[in-house]
Amino acid sequence: MKTAKNETGINTQNTVLNQEPKPRETSTYSSGDDLAKNARPPEYLVDAVLPVGSNGILRGETMAFKTFTALNLAHSVSTGRPFFGHTVFKPGKVIYVCGDGMGGIPRRLKALEISEGKFNDDVYLYLDSRFRIDDPEIMAELRQSIEELQPVLIIFDALTSLAFTMDENSRLDVASTIQLIKDTCSFGDTSTLIVHHYDDYSGKGLGSTPLMSCVDFAWEMNRVPDSMSATLRCLKNNEGEAFTDIDLLAQIVDIPPIEDGESYTSLVINPKH
């Protein structure tokens, strides 16, 4: 047998043969009786809506008020105010990773502050167009922030603008990206929510099937055409029953000018009464 050499001319045959075999990772198992004995009811960050330590998506077409809803959730979790009528059981810090629409985020935050009050300095936003949820190095940096801040919720908005190399219709790509998010954000009981825009208007959306199979819960926003009304619906909840549909209404908020600037408007979204 000829001896193999690498590009530097160094003999690699013996090196390979003399390498110590890597120890095999062993699988562990649990007793079914023990697991059943220690069973507990599902624990929720937001009552009947958002399970503790879970990973999910909020999907819908463009301009369905998804980001407004996600910001409303961040405000509720950070302040303890009800989220569309649902009690927040464990208020805490929120990390919001924004991949698109960054210019409008401050206006939306201001509208929420005027309508609902301040954020208690407990919402932390990444406004960086270079942020990638499919890049292990960048996610490692996020992990450092998670360990420092210890958030109870992390929101990624939106999937297509934060994942540069992932094919939304590839189960392998989607599963790998979601697993990277889970590994990065698995700090205590931290939950995650990914905002996902449909790529078409068929009501199905590219990437929906692989995503649905990888997450613990899934919500969908449907806007009534040519109106300010929308519905938030639960499509999946591995921890329990789906919550009742929430009918919502986007309302205009007047924002006063700063010094000599002009006044402008934004929106907040609230339950219909």
Class of the 43-271 domain?
A: alpha beta
Secondary structure of 182-244 as H, E, C letters: HHHHCCCCCEEEEEEECCCCCCCCCCHHHHHHHCCEEEEEEECCCCCEEEEEEEEECCCCCCC
Q: What is the pTM of this model?
A: 0.85
Domain-wise residue ranges, the chain: 43-271
pLDDT of residue 16: 41
Cα of 58 vs its chain's centroid, Å = 8
pLDDT of residue 194: 96
Phi and psi at residue 252, to the nearest 5° = -80, 135
Contact of 139 with 133, CB cutoff 8 Å: yes
Q: Report the chain's terminal Cα–Cα distance, integer Å.
A: 81
Helices (H) and strands (E) in the chain, counts: 8, 11
Phi and psi at residue 91, to the nearest 5° = -60, 150
d(CA 47, CA 239): 12
DSSP letter (8 states) at residue 24: P
Distances from the Cα of 79 to the Cαs of 112, 121, 169, 213, 254, in angstroms?
A: 12, 9, 37, 32, 22
Tokens of 232: 């938030």
pLDDT mean values, one per 10 residues, the chain (273 residues): 44 47 72 87 95 96 95 98 97 95 90 96 92 94 96 95 85 91 93 84 51 92 96 96 97 89 92 90
pLDDT of residue 210: 77
Distances from the Cα of 67 to the Cαs of 39, 62, 155, 182, 273, in angstroms?
A: 35, 10, 10, 21, 22
Using N-to-C axis directions, what is the helix angle for 136-149 and 171-185, rounded to 10°? Answer: 30
Four-point Cα dihedral 245, 251, 256, 261, nearest 10: 100
Tokens of 177: 């990206």
Using N-to-C axis directions, what is the helix angle for 66-79 and 105-116, rounded to 10°? Answer: 50
Tokens of 22: 């890597």
pLDDT of residue 77: 98
Phi and psi at residue 196, to the nearest 5° = -130, 120
